[in-house]
């Protein structure tokens, strides 16, 4: 499975990448913002997107909207990883159809659990 990690913080990308490698996912591409992520998604593809919300150029919410607007990626799993934890933000993210939401700081186990939840829900949906 190929992951695309999108965050303007190199440190946060390192944390997510290292966590993914620890739990057995080693095919990872990184992007520093939504524009970079969309370009990499179109050229390299991905099976799962983990994105921050607050980024320059194109934020995670705009990225999720762009991904969902493309028929090729409309069912691509998206996990929003952000410091934005109020109820309105979670609702706004769900409206653009992110699959799940995790608030920073998070534990490696918390990230793994969210990814596993998304993968289970995607696998159980009828085609």
Q: Please say whether the beta carbons of 25 and 2 come within 8 A.
A: no
Domains of the chain: 2-122 (3.40.50.2300)
Count CA atoms within 13 Å of residue 1 on its CB side: 16
CA distance 94 to 116: 18
The predicted model scores a pTM of 0.95
Look-up of token digits 């995790």: 102
What is the per-residue pLDDT across 60-118, written as a single tens digit (0 to 9) for each? 999 999 999 999 998 999 999 999 889 999 999 999 999 999 999 999 999 999 999 99
């Amino acid at each position: 499975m190929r992951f695309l990690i999108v965050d303007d913080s190199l440190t946060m990308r390192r944390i997510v990448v290292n966590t993914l490698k620890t739990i057995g996912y080693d095919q990872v591409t990184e992007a520093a913002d939504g524009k970079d992520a969309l370009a990499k998604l179109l050229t390299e593809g991905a099976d799962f997107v983990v994105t921050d919300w607050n980024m320059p150029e194109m934020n995670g919410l705009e990225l999720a909207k762009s991904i969902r607007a493309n028929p090729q990626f409309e069912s691509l799993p998206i996990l929003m990883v952000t410091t934005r934890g109020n109820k309105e933000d979670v609702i706004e993210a769900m409206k653009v159809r992110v699959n799940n939401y995790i608030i920073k700081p998070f534990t490696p186990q918390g990230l793994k659990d969210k990814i596993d939840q998304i993968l289970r829900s995607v696998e159980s949906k009828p085609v």
